Amino acid sequence: MAESVVSFVLDHLSQLVAREANLLYGVEDRIQSLQHELQMMKELLSSTRSKKGMEHTVLNQIRDVSHLAEDLIDTFVAKVSIYKRRTILGRMLRGFHQARLLHDVAEKIDKIKTTLNEIRENKDKYDAFKETSNQSAAEEEEEEKRAQSVQKLRRNVEEEDVVGFVQDSKDVINRLLEGGSNRKVVSIIGMGGLGKTTLARKVYNSTQVKQHFMCHAWVYVSNECRLRELLLDLLKRLMPDFEQQCRGKKKGKKNTLDINSLSEEELKKHVWNCLERKRYLVVVDDLWKRQDWDEVQDAFPDNNRGSRILITSRLKEVALHAAHDVPHYLQFLNEEESWELFRRKVFRGEDYPSDLESLGKQMVQSCRGLPLSIIVLGGLLASKEKSHREWSKVVGHVNWYLTQDETQVKDIVLNLSYDNLPRKLKPCFLYLGIFLEDSEIPVRPLLQKWVAEGFIQDTGSRDPDDVAEDYLYELIDRSLVQVAKVETNGCVETCQVHDLLRDLCISESKEDKVFEVCTDNNILIPTKPRRLSIQSDMGHYISSSNNDHSCIRSLFFFGPLYDVHGREWKWLLDDFKLVRVLEFGPNNFLKIPSKLGNFIHLRYLRMDATYIRFVPDSILNLWNLQTIDFGPWVYKIPISFPIQMWKLKYLRHLSTLGPIRLRGSCSGSDEKMWNLQTISALLLNRQATSLIKKETFPNLKKIGLKVAHAYEGELPKLLQTLQQSSHLNEFEIHFEDRYERRNGCTPQELFQSLGHFSSITVLEIQNHSELLTSVVTFPPNVTELTLSCIMCITDEGMIGLENHTKLKILRLWGYAFRFGDSFDLNCTRGGFPQLEVFQMTYMRVGKWKLENGAMLKLQSLIINKCKMLDDLPKELWCLSGLKKVHVTNPSNQLGCMLRNLELNNGVQLVIDEPQIVIC
């Protein structure tokens, strides 16, 4: 992490020099010189890997000095920016202070450079000593022994008789036995400690597999693959007398073979010869790198005998590279399996005291279905007194016990995966420990925070958010992050990390000063981290903690609901002047203080803005802001925002709970917001229409418009202007309530303008109740369409919907609290040719007709509170791609029909009936 710290500081200083040259006047030469010094330190770090002894000390020294340099420059910039906002008289009065500030900064930079030189000199002396004393070889030998010890422990733990895996083993065995005669590779992937080796061993030793394959071999790879040793190990298993053959002598002749003289290619040839005429199964356990597979795979002949290779890995990328087939994803144990494994490990088949069951299950729940955790915990408790008193000491501290050095769980679960991460992914992974235990982490805000933190660098011409998403998916593919919830379009909506990984991230981050998590249990422990996650009552923390917060760059409040008033704001504004990321959890704010504009380094701001109706002009001072997140657009009440938003030239995302009502004079600058990508909602008024007409947002990807009655006539013209934004792919249009209104923008007028938006793929239109009462043409490339407040759909209205050839996701919403006549929904043959997800909510559909040949690719159907729908078309159940039907609050008749329905085509039917249904 030390190298990452230096990289972040270098990147930050480069941005400052480029962006704020006017603020650095007088010290810019020294800052550039400091950059050069830090660049040399970065090169030094690239050759330093050890986390022990002198090298570890050097790493920590460089990290701390880099932090000191960052604090110095950021503090200077913050003070100068406030100085420049003063009046002329104020600047004159502060002139002497400004000169002294320049002198102090220059002096401190010189001191930092001297310290860096001393560190480099000491490092050179240490390296010279290490070479003469052969200390490096001794350290490598010690590390090698430790790695072998961990590997042995991992194999012993994972090869225990773990419960479960019944269905898993059946699936893997079927994959091995089925298929043609060509050689086939099957893979098992999952998180460290999940039992991949156990499952592979269970399959390997099964009677079916033993009888099917003539030849069996098992080889362990590990993260440091040594091809020669791997091939020799294979030969010893394939030819038990191989070593004897190599050592044996024939009368009057030299050794027939000399192991040491055989090249890797010759060893491969021997393996090939052993397998060539046999139907074989080889298990390649714990594969980490694609190149390791590339080096060994040509030792396994494709002999047209139905041979198989079974691979275990933590990495999806490696599994797909080797197998070219969907891997078998190993899941966590369920509660019943977890308890069975724990009970077997602790009591070894004997009866257990009934008063320990609740404590035991509570501890097992903390393991979150990870077999390794359960086995290690069971082993610890098996050696303790089996009493309520002893077990009570462990409850609530399970992860602490599991991560003690003697268990080596940290080495097995985290270090092997963490050490093998590319450098760019390490801070992103550790960052996940900041969030609450067991919480589902929203993906979009997470990616935006990574960008704001400076974790996403060297993106070239690519969007940083897209690169951040790649990083997340790579962590998922490496079995370090779990997908918690998926959106209907297939994107990951929320993610999670296993509690054990989270705790290990916290301990690793604390050691490297990446971040610290503060709870009620450690609130009095003095700390000085760069990032702080407060997971206790905000008022309690303020009154109890005496920590120095002057170096905090990221601050998170994840405690219980709390009202934020003057005292809390004063504390924040006084103590956290260098903060870049500021996130409040469920806290109540009545207003945003104008002094928030002094946080000039702020890049990410997240607040629960339920009661906020006004954003002060001082927010325009935060020129580094990339994300303003006041929640998703769900309310009708607008939030006032200054029209001069173009001053936030680095702003990328603007999200608010209500529509943004711009205020101020429309005259002025024609500057563009080149970086702005998303605006959750703009209320169309004089100011908003002025900015749109000026094409202030040329690179928008997503925008929402709240259209008042008075501005409906303006909408077609504004849409023509927005067409110029070739990046726009998500569009929301919300009209004012039109239930009793019949004037304004007709569907034909609306879609005549929308029809030219070839870039839009996601479209939502709300409160245009007569939208589907006539034939309309949607934008040609829309794949996801949401239409809300629909009162009726005529046959003419269905034509535009079902003839849309690219539509994959369709959501139709009616009114929850309004009544009217029912209508029929008629889907004709060939309609909705690409539709995969269809959702109806509060729709007053009486009968649904689905002709043969309609919705042929439908996979998921969601029907929510459509109380007038009494039946589903029988043609629905004949759709070959249908996977899931989810019905919530059905009518009595529909509920009875669904409960009595017999399904034989593998469709998952879910019925949620909160009310009692009487048939």
CATH number at residue 99: 1.20.5
The tens digit of pLDDT for each residue in 860-901 reads 999 999 999 999 999 999 999 999 999 999 999 999 999 888
The predicted pLDDT at position 38 comes to 76
76, 204: one domain: no
Which ranges of 499-620 does DSSP label H, i.e. alpha helix? 499-512, 538-544, 566-575
Q: Is 101 part of any domain?
A: yes
Q: Is 71 part of any domain?
A: yes
Report which of 707, 699, 711, 655 is spatially closest to residue 683, judged by C-alpha positions. 707
186, 101: one domain: no
The predicted pLDDT at position 745 comes to 64
186, 325: one domain: yes
73, 103, 127 - which closes a domain: 127
CA distances from 816 to 626, 772, 790, 844 (A): 37, 18, 11, 10
75, 184: one domain: no
Q: Is 428 part of any domain?
A: no
Record the tokens describing residue 875, joined without a space.
């043609």
The number of beta carbons lying within 10 Å of the beta carbon of residue 111 is 12
109, 127, 145 - which closes a domain: 127
Task: Report whether 745 contacts 715 (CB < 8 A).
Answer: yes
The predicted pLDDT at position 691 comes to 93
Largest CA-CA distance found in the chain, in angstroms, rounded:
109
CATH of residue 310's domain is: 3.40.50.300
123, 267: one domain: no
Q: Which positions ≥6 away from 162 have C-beta within 8 Å?
A: 195, 198, 341, 371, 375
197, 309: one domain: yes
105, 170: one domain: no
Range of the domain at 38: 1-127
99, 127, 155 - which closes a domain: 127
4, 109: one domain: yes
Q: Is 853 part of any domain?
A: no
Q: Is 52 part of any domain?
A: yes
**Under the phi-then-psi rule, with left for phi > 0, alpha for psi from -120 to 50, and beta for the rest, what region is 618?**
alpha
122, 169: one domain: no
702 forms beta bridges with 678, 730
Q: Which residue has the tokens 């429309």?
A: 666
Q: Which residue has the tokens 């082993």?
A: 379
100, 220: one domain: no
Q: Structure pTM?
A: 0.86
Please count the structural domains in the chain. 2
Q: Is 820 part of any domain?
A: no
Report which of 542, 466, 417 is spatially closest to residue 532, judged by C-alpha positions. 542
Q: Is 546 part of any domain?
A: no
Q: How far apart are CA 719 and CA 765, in angstroms?
A: 14
44, 178: one domain: no
121, 27: one domain: yes
Q: Is 311 part of any domain?
A: yes
Mark the ranges of the chain whose per-residue pLDDT is less than 50: 89-90, 92-93, 249-253, 255, 739-742, 916-919
